[in-house]
Amino acid sequence: MKSMLKFLYFLVIIVIAVSLTVGLATVSLADWNEGDCYKMHFPQLPDLGDGGVAIVASAAVFPGIEVADDFQCMETGNITDIHIWGSYIDNMVSDNRSFVLRIYDDIPAYESPTGYSMPGELLWSHTFAEGEFDELPLVDRPEEILYSPWSGIPHSDNMVWQYNFNIDPVDAFPQEEGNIYWLSVYEEYGDNCVFGWKTSTNHWNDDAVWTHQPGFGGPWYELQWPPEGPDPISLDMAFVITTGTGTIILEKQTDPDGDDRSFDILEYPTGALVTSLQDDGTHSIDCLQPGTYMFVEDVPNCWSLTTVDLSEVGGFENSSYNSTTGIVTLNLEAGETINVTFNNTKWGIVTVEKETDPPGSDELFEFTGTFSANLSDGGSFSGCIPPGQHTVTELVPDCWELTEIISNDNNGSTDISTGTATINLEPGEEVTVTFKDMEYGYIIVEKQTDPDGAPSIFTFAGDLSGTIGDGEQLISPCLRPGDYTSWELPKPYWKLVDIMLDDAASITPSTYDFSARQVYFNLDPGETVKATFTNRFIPPPPEEPPVEDHGAPVGIEVFSVNKPALLAPWIALVVVIIAGGIILVRRYRAHS
């Protein structure tokens, strides 16, 4: 019967081994794999080489053997998982087994009556019946020794299994960091199938021990191999202690995508650096004890932490992100994985440039809006600002004209009438806006006379008109660059002798028409052009001298005679006498 069971069992093992395609040194599809979390000094992996040994830890061999090995706790917390590796004599496995696992405190060698360290007080014990543990086979391997330290009789096997014991948190043993404990294994029932606990290639601290009085706490005997010989080697057992842990995965996403900026994720409130991530980067923190963990991102200049996305698998989804403080609070539970994605948006850069016509002006131009600044020709300012709509407005000074606004923002706009550039800034975009201004100019007419200081007033007409005297000027208000004219009106006894212009070096010099007494101003940006009119006084011709009378005596002054003037009084006297005579005659006749 046993032969038939053994044959059938070998068939099952072969099918499993082929389907899993596991290598000799690889634990596959197991509850614990190399690289997984552990809460002991280090995992003690099974010796699968030619020198591998399994030590009987079973009630199936009289009087029953319990085997124990020591370990040190590396982090305080409940032991929720115990993983061991083992074999059976002749590979005969029962389906009606139970395992007793016990944890003892440590009696160090210097306190032990035996001279070597061994288990002390029993701290925890639990019996795992069939169905309360997982049994996962490794591949068939070369035959090895399964040794009973009680009888000294070697047996053989060529299969290794991993046994995974998951412990209810209610029944878990609370280990404390730094303490040394002993784990013991004892197969209590197994239909006379003999279990052996595999030895490990990883040695730590003192040798494993065994007792032939399971459950009674000793006596304990040191395990060495071979048991007899001049140079026995220490034996340690293959096992891993784990606790209920969780995983936190930190991830970075940037807008725009693919930015190579690194972002520091810090532990809060200590400020300790956890990791630095670039776009699409992740950092996994495994084997964490259940509890509260807090993080904050050190947001670089010219970036915003836009959102933090939380994804919780295997927990109560009670973690949170405070958008005001930027603090991420994670409530991690055993077996939970929390993904934390930090989403950052890169600010854009806006540069404002100033250009004047003519170049080199030291006039200051004031800018308002998103930026406030004062710029002269060739000046610029720039800054990083959050994505969105922004405006920059130039306050145009007197006697200047904003002629052009150039922007490379494809979805922005400009308005010359208001002096405003509207920028629709995208994440990470760089926008340059150039404001170009033209300076107005002046035209001047100046008067010079010959002789200097003459009191005469001269009149000018045209775009620049008015009256001025010697040494005086007519000055225009600031004028937009262009063509202007002014001319002098003629004045008696004054002759225009010169018109002089002072812009001969101009690209478009001004001109004049002397015969028309007119100047044609070609006013360039920022230019002042002066026309000087010079006039000379021309006096009128003198009157003719009086005619001389050569018949007059020498020394007597001769005057011309006004004869009508001399006769007038005598004629008047004659008229009066005649009128008086007529009156007398009429009166005489009237009385006669």
Give the C-alpha distances (Å, rounded to integers) separating 142 from 20, 88, 94.
18, 14, 22
Choose the most confident range, by mean pLDDT, from 101-110, 150-159, 232-241: 101-110
Q: What is the DSSP letter of 471?
A: T
Dig out the tokens for 317 from the structure: 């989804």
Q: Is-contact 304 345, C-beta < 8 A?
A: yes
Q: Which residue has the tokens 């070998």?
A: 10
Q: What is the mean pLDDT of residues 349-372?
A: 96
> What confidence category does residue 270 fall into, taking pLDDT thresholds of 50, 70 and 90?
very high
How far apart, in whole angstroms, are the C-alpha atoms of residue 377 and residue 502? 26
> Please, how many CA atoms are within 13 Å of residue 384, restricted to the half-sphere of its CB?
12
Asked whether the CA dihedral 580, 586, 588, 591 is positive or negative, the reply is negative
Question: pLDDT (tens digit, 9 = 90+) per residue, 121-142?
Answer: 999 999 999 999 999 887 666 6
pLDDT of residue 12: 36
DSSP assigned state of 565: H
Does the pLDDT value for residue 24 go beyond 80? Answer: no
Per the structure block, which two tokens stand in for 539? 């006096």
Q: Which residue has the higher pLDDT, 485 or 13?
A: 485
> What is the rounded CA–CA span in Å between residue 93 and residue 87?
9
| SS3 assignment, position 220 | coil
Question: So what's the pLDDT on residue 578?
Answer: 78
CATH topology for 348-439?
A: Immunoglobulin-like (2.60.40)
Residue 111: phi, psi to the nearest 5? -110, -5
* pLDDT value of position 14: 36
Residue 96 has pLDDT above 70, yes or no: yes
Separation between Cα atoms, residue 265 and residue 245, nearest integer Å? 22
* Residue 15: strand, helix, or coil: helix
With cut-offs at 50, 70 and 90, classify the pLDDT of residue 592: low
Look at 135-144, 241-250, 423-432 and tell me which has the smallest mean pLDDT. Answer: 135-144
* Burial zone of 551 (CB within 10 Å; 0-12 exposed, 13-18 middle, 19+ buried): exposed
SS (H, E, C) 138-204: CCCCCCEEEECCCCCCEEEECCCEEEEEECCHHHCEEECCCCEEEEEEEEEECCCCCEEEEEECCCC
CB 426 within 8 A of CB 255: no
The three-state secondary structure class of 573 is: helix
The domain covering 442-537 belongs, at the CATH homologous superfamily level, to Collagen-binding surface protein Cna, B-type domain (2.60.40.1140)
pLDDT of residue 192: 81
Whether omega for the bond prior to residue 154 falls within 30 degrees of 0, making it cis, is no
Tell me which of 222-226, 288-292, 295-299, 536-540 is least confident: 222-226
Per-residue pLDDT reduced to its tens digit, 162-215: 999 999 888 999 999 999 999 999 998 767 888 999 999 889 999 999 999 998
Question: How far is 100 from 67, CA to CA, in rounded Å?
Answer: 11
Retrieve residue 163's tokens. Answer: 């046994």
- Confidence category of residue 278, pLDDT binned at 50, 70, 90: very high
Neighbours of 213 (CB within 10 A): 13
Most confident of 169-183, 214-228, 462-476: 462-476
Is the bond leading into 63 cis (omega within 30 degrees of zero)? yes
Q: Which structure tokens are listed for 308?
A: 């933090």
**5 pLDDT more than 60:** no
* Among the ranges given (51-65, 102-116, 509-523), the one the predictor scored with the smallest mean pLDDT: 51-65
271 burial (CB, 10 Å; 0-12 / 13-18 / 19+) is: exposed
- For the ranges 149-163, 299-313, 567-581, the lowest mean pLDDT is seen at 567-581
User: How many residues are present in the chain?
Assistant: 592
> pLDDT at residue 436 above 70?
yes
Q: Is the pLDDT of residue 501 over 50?
A: yes
- Give the per-residue pLDDT at 219: 94
Structure token digits, residue 374: 């004062």
> CA 451, 456, 457: angle at the middle one, nearest 5?
130
Which residues 6+ apart lie within 8 Å of 550 measured at CB? Answer: none
Model confidence at 522, pLDDT cuts 50, 70, 90, reads very high
Q: How far is CA 366 from CA 192, 402, 407, in A?
A: 98, 12, 18
- Give the pLDDT of residue 31: 76
Whether 43 has a pLDDT exceeding 80, the answer reads: yes
Please check whether residue 138 is in contact with residue 162, taking contact to mean a CB–CB distance below 8 angstroms.
Answer: yes
Distance of CA 88 to CAs 9, 91, 456, Å?
12, 5, 137
Task: Give the burial class of 439: count Cβ atoms within 10 A of its Cβ; 0-12 exposed, 13-18 middle, 19 or more buried.
Answer: buried
CA angle 223, 225, 231 (to 5 degrees): 115
Q: What is each CA distance from 327 to 263, 300, 302, 331, 386, in whole angstroms?
A: 15, 16, 19, 13, 21
CATH of domain 248-344: 2.60.40
What confidence score (pLDDT) does residue 564 get?
Answer: 58
The residues, ordered by sequence, that sit 6+ positions from 546 with a Cβ below 8 Å of its Cβ are: 560
- Whether the CB-CB separation of 163 and 84 falls below 8 Å is answered with yes
Q: What mean pLDDT is reported for the chain?
A: 87
Based on the number of CB atoms within 10 Å of its own CB, is 54 exposed (0-12), middle (13-18) or buried (19 or more)?
A: buried
* Confidence (pLDDT) at 544: 67
Question: Residue 81 pairs with which residues in a beta bridge?
Answer: 166, 242
| Own/partner long-range contacts of 257-263 (Cβ < 8 Å, ≥24 apart) | 259/346, 259/428, 261/300, 261/303, 261/346, 263/297, 263/298, 263/299, 263/300, 263/303, 263/342, 263/344
Is the pLDDT at 16 greater than 50? The verdict is no
pLDDT recorded at residue 562: 55
**Spatial contact of 183 and 102, defined as CB atoms under 8 Å apart:** yes
> What does the block give as tokens for 531?
């026309």
Of residues 90 and 263, more confidence is placed in 263
